[in-house]
Amino acid sequence: MSSSQVIIALTKGRILDEVLPLFEQTDIIPLEDIKNSRKLIFDTNRDNIQLMVMRGSDVPTYVEFGSADMGVVGKDLLMEYGSEEFYEPLDLKLARCRLMTAEPTNPGPIQGRPKVATKFVNIAKKYFAEQGKQIELIKLNGALELAPAMGLADSIVDIVDTGNTLKANGLEPKELIAQISSRVIVNKASMKIKNTAIREILGKLREAVANNQ
C-alpha cells in the first residue's frame, strides 16, 4: 500500500445513506453502486482512495489495527468501544439520534436491583455508576424493546430516533445519556505516514459539513 493510499471504512445502513452524498460533495465517488453490491471494498474516482463497507461495530477495530486508515461510525459505538486508540477529528453531524434510558409507560414494582437490558454494556455501566445507582446489566444484541414486556428487564438503554418503536412497545424515553451523530476516526500511525492525503480529505469533509449546516 502506498504512503498516499487511503482506505476509509464506512458503516452500513443509515450512516452509509447519509455519508455517500457528503462524500460526493468532496469529490469522493465510488465507481459502482455500493448499496446494491455484495462487495465490501470499492474503488473510487480518486486513485488513492478506497471505501470499505461493514457493520458499525467493526469500524473502530479496523481503524485501530490499521486495516483502514479512516472510518465513519456512530458516536454510540465509539463510546462503547473506547476511543483512546485513534483520533476523532470530525463530527459529520449526520445520522443524529439520542442514546437514552427507556422504561415501561406503566412500570410495575421492581424486586431487588433494577435490571437494565442493553447492547451498550460499557456505556450503561459507566452511566449508572456515575448516577450512584446499582443495577444488574443484561446484554442483548437486538429486540431490546421486548425485554421489559417479557419480564426480562425493568428498563433498557438504547438509541432513540423518533421514539415510535418505544411507544409501539409500551415504553417511553426517560434519561438522556448522550447526543449521537456520525464521527470520522483516523488511525494514529496513518495520520503520521499519510498526513497530507488524510488532511486533504478531512479539510474537504469539514468544508462540506459547514456548507450543509
Q: Using one digit for the tens of pLDDT, what is the confidence trace for 26-51?
A: 999 999 999 888 899 999 999 999 99
Q: In terms of Cα–Cα distance, which of 10, 13, 7, 41 is closest to 201?
A: 7
Over the range 172-205, which residues count as b (16 or more CB within 10 Å of their CB) and which as e? eeeeebeebbbbbbbbeebbeebeebbebbbebb
**Rounded mean pLDDT, 67-87:** 94
Report which secondary-structure segment, H or E, holds 119: none
Give residue 142's pLDDT band: very low, low, confident or very high (50, 70, 90).
confident
Indicate whether 15 pLDDT > 70: yes
- Rounded Cα–Cα distance for residues 75 and 184 (Å): 9
**Rounded mean pLDDT, 52-69:** 96
Indicate whether 1 pLDDT > 70: no
**Rounded mean pLDDT, 141-165:** 93
Domains of the chain: 6-95+181-212 (3.40.190.10), 97-178 (3.40.190.10)
Q: What is the pTM of this model?
A: 0.91
Alpha carbon of 25 to those of 20, 159, 204: distances in Å? 9, 28, 8
Q: What average pLDDT is seen over the chain? A: 94
182-193 pLDDT tens trace: 999 999 999 999
Please classify residue 159 by burial: count the beta carbons closer than 10 Å to its beta carbon, then call 0-12 exposed, 13-18 middle and 19+ buried: middle
Give the length of the chain: 213
Give residue 109's pLDDT band: very low, low, confident or very high (50, 70, 90).
confident
pLDDT at 27: 96
Please classify residue 93 by burial: count the beta carbons closer than 10 Å to its beta carbon, then call 0-12 exposed, 13-18 middle and 19+ buried: middle
pLDDT at 35: 86
Give residue 105's pLDDT band: very low, low, confident or very high (50, 70, 90).
very high
pLDDT at 3: 62
Indicate whether 2 pLDDT > 60: no
H helical segments located in the chain: 14-25, 59-64, 75-81, 121-130, 146-149, 164-168, 188-193, 195-212
**Rounded mean pLDDT, 108-127:** 94
192-205 pLDDT tens trace: 999 999 999 999 99
Mention every residue, 6+ apart, whose C-beta is less than 8 A from residue 2. 48
